[in-house]
Structure 1
Amino acid sequence: MPTLQKSPSFHDDTVNAVLGDISYTTAYGVEPNVRTSEEVRIKTHLEYVIDLLKEEDTSGLSASQIENRRKMIALLEDYKEAGVFPKNRYFETRRPVFIDEDGNLCAVGYLIAQTKGIEVAKEINSDHKYDLINDIDPKLINEWLAENGLTKNEAAMIQPMYGEVYTETIEQNEVELEYAVASSVLAGMQLGTTTYSMLSDDSPSTIKKISAFNTLLGMGSITLGLINLDNTSTDIRYPTTDPQICGICYSRYEYTYKNPARTNFSIANIVVGGLSAAFNGYRFFQAKKRENPSKINFSATQLYDPSTQATAPGLSFSVKL
């Protein structure tokens, strides 16, 4: 497991190593606890830091530093609104995570990626994935900070620390009764009416109607399959008990539900519906040709030659498609 060196002022298990949870207590008048939404906690912190950055005296900065600083604040606001934060999967207490396993960047990592490029952010992440700003190699960050009019302490105030996330993937492998019934009814109707039209000697007009109806049923099966094809869902829950009672309590629990049985059933719906639509579409156009067959008519006529002003016997033809 990765290790993290604590700075002397390290606020253990708070949203920020420098400011602690002052953002939350200022906004809500109470301390956050295990029931507090992780997203709300981080967004509240970032909003608090953004206000601090805006209020800071910048008279000692150059014009370019002031402009770059303004852009940093705007980017941080975008990051906060997007709400896509990394996950701490390795520590029981809150820790920084520069870039997590899903490619989600921390606030400072996002600012660096947006201004210097994602490769620079990845370089920092390779050696300082779980480090506080003050523990990152100065050669990797100091020049960037100066260029953008930020102090190292301000960057440290921006950097959130993330609570540990418990993740679990659950396979259900079941097809809901309503879905199974609807699919079976559609498939049965397609099979029955298609078989009837193939075995009967109905007129082309009747076959056209049955084929058109079956084509619509096939499209219905395809649509039903596509709607239910991607059935992965995520349920995020927050602990409801105190850590002293439950032992180790994660900041949140993420359960990913997958249903391979329903996915396979949906694929079958798409295949059956596609075959039915294609076959009945073909029968529709075949019946249409039988109903209105192509005709080629030949007839005798007289051809006129303007150069000689004479006529001669000829043959004309017409085609009906």
Structure 2
Amino acid sequence: MLRILLPIASALLIIVGSFSSQNQKPEFHLNTVNGVIGDISYEKEFGVEVDASVSEETRIKTHLQYVIEILKDTETHHLNTDQEKNRKHIITLLKEYIDAGEFPQNHHFKNRRPVFIDRDGNLCAVGYLIARTKGLEAAQRINRDHKFDYIKDIDPKLINGWLAENGLTQKEAAMIQPFYGPIENKVNRNNIETEYAIGSSLLAGAQLGALSYSLLTNNSPSDIKKISVFNSALGAASLTLGLVNLDNRYSETSSPAPEQPCICWTTTTTYTNKARTQLSIANIAVGTASLIYNSFRFFSAPQKEEPSKFNVSATQLYDPSSGQTAPALSLSMKF
């Protein structure tokens, strides 16, 4: 009985194991430069995690160069002579593709995504390899139905024959396939509106005039405080005007008609104005300096009127020769 049960139990374990292995899908890295190996290429090359400051070209080139090394180090003893020869040719073509640097752009999605051939005719890495080995028409045929698809989702009839002919596995092709980041156009208008320029000039001129008046005239403590309050108000206006207009960036999103249905077909354009930003910084600097200086003058002004430095008073003048006194004026000056 035990001899009968053991084979049955072993068969059941094999069946269960096969089902579980089929249900366990390999890890797929979304929103990275590649779905199979993620961003490991950049981390290996530079020793840090990739961030938004890294250019798209650097990410793509670093990834593809890393994949080339993997392809070269992979055992190929199972391949026949033609497959090995074709595989080496594929690696050479991939190097040429990296050097050319003509990568497609993602004008369609807000997250990283494959783009087989973009609207300007630039081919992805896999598309380029197919075009160079099977002809551009073969790549365009895949692009018609699988423009944004991952390698694993492309119709096997369109790609499996090419993979076998060139000694590549589906996983290796998926490893080659880059994901491209969303395109954000940046435009610098670099102009200052007339109203903003005039307002800034009037405020600066008024502060300069009031400051000159307070320094060139002899003012009483009460006048000094009034002028300081007036100048502080002008400084606060300049500071506020600069802060309000400092961040002048704004974005516009357009949705042109897509080549095929895609809910994320958008293009974002960010507009900036460096000249206006520089004027805003100047307004902030002038306003802050005016506030500090006039606050100091206000609080350091005398609390009451000081007596005049030049005094005239009545006195008596004594004449020794006659022994008499006579009225006189006494003049004094404080230094």
Distance 1:42 1:17 in 2: 13
Q: Which residue of 1 aligns with 2:99?
A: 81
Partner residue of 1:136 out of 154, 159, 162: 154
Q: Which residue of 1 aligns with 2:276?
A: none
The within-5 A match list for 1:1-321 is: 9-167=27-185
Distance 1:170 1:37 in 2: 19
- Which digits, 9 at most, give the CA deviation of each residue in 1:239-270, with x for residues without a partner? xxxxxxx9x9x9x9799xxxxxxxxxxxxxxx
Identity %: 58
Bigger Rg, which one:
2
- Which digits, 9 at most, give the CA deviation of each residue in 1:274-306, with x for residues without a partner? xxxxxxxxxxxxxxxxxxxxxxxxxxxxxxxxx
- Which digits, 9 at most, give the CA deviation of each residue in 1:23-68, with x for residues without a partner? 0000011111111111011000000000000011010000000000
Q: What is the CA-CA distance between 1:15 and the residue it aligns to? A: 0.3
- Which digits, 9 at most, give the CA deviation of each residue in 1:93-151, with x for residues without a partner? 10000000000000000000001010110000000000000000000000000000000
SS in 1 for 2:143: helix
Distance 1:171 1:27 in 2: 37
Distance 1:125 1:162 in 2: 16
Q: What is the CA-CA distance between 1:11 and the residue it aligns to? A: 0.9
Q: What is the CA-CA distance between 1:13 and the residue it aligns to? A: 1.1
Which runs of 5 or more residues in structure 2 are unaligned?
Answer: 1-24, 191-250, 254-265, 272-335
- For the 8 Å contact 2:127–2:139, the answer to whether it is kept is yes
- Which digits, 9 at most, give the CA deviation of each residue in 1:187-228, with x for residues without a partner? xxxxxxxxxxxxxxxxxxxxxxxxxxxxxxxxxxxxxxxxxx
Q: 1:162 to 1:171 in 2, by over 3 A?
A: same
- For the 8 Å contact 2:42–2:49, the answer to whether it is kept is yes
- For the 8 Å contact 2:76–2:84, the answer to whether it is kept is yes
CA RMSD of aligned residues (A): 2.8
Q: Which residue of 2 aligns with 1:215?
A: none
Counterpart AA for 1:17: G
SS in 1 for 2:185: strand
Which runs of 5 or more residues in structure 1 are unaligned?
Answer: 1-6, 173-245, 256-321
Distance 1:46 1:168 in 2: 27
Q: What is the CA-CA distance between 1:168 and the residue it aligns to? A: 6.4
- For the 8 Å contact 1:94–1:163, the answer to whether it is kept is yes
SS in 2 for 1:167: strand
- Runs (4 or more) in structure 1 with deviation over 4 Å come to 168-172, 252-255
Distance 2:189 2:49 in 1: 37
Q: What is the CA-CA distance between 1:9 and the residue it aligns to? A: 2.6
- For the 8 Å contact 2:187–2:269, the answer to whether it is kept is no
SS in 1 for 2:184: strand
Q: What is the CA-CA distance between 1:167 and the residue it aligns to? A: 3.3
Q: Which residue of 2 aligns with 1:218?
A: none
Counterpart AA for 2:161: E
Q: What is the CA-CA distance between 1:90 and the residue it aligns to? A: 1.2
SS in 1 for 2:38: coil
Higher relative contact order structure (alpha carbons within 8 Å, sequence separation ≥ 6): 1
Q: 1:171 to 1:101 in 2, by over 3 A?
A: farther
Q: 1:99 to 1:254 in 2, by over 3 A?
A: farther
Distance 2:155 2:33 in 1: 22
What is the count of residue pairs matched by the alignment? 174
Distance 2:160 2:270 in 1: 36
Q: What is the CA-CA distance between 1:8 and the residue it aligns to? A: 6.0
Distance 1:14 1:131 in 2: 15
- For the 8 Å contact 1:165–1:254, the answer to whether it is kept is no
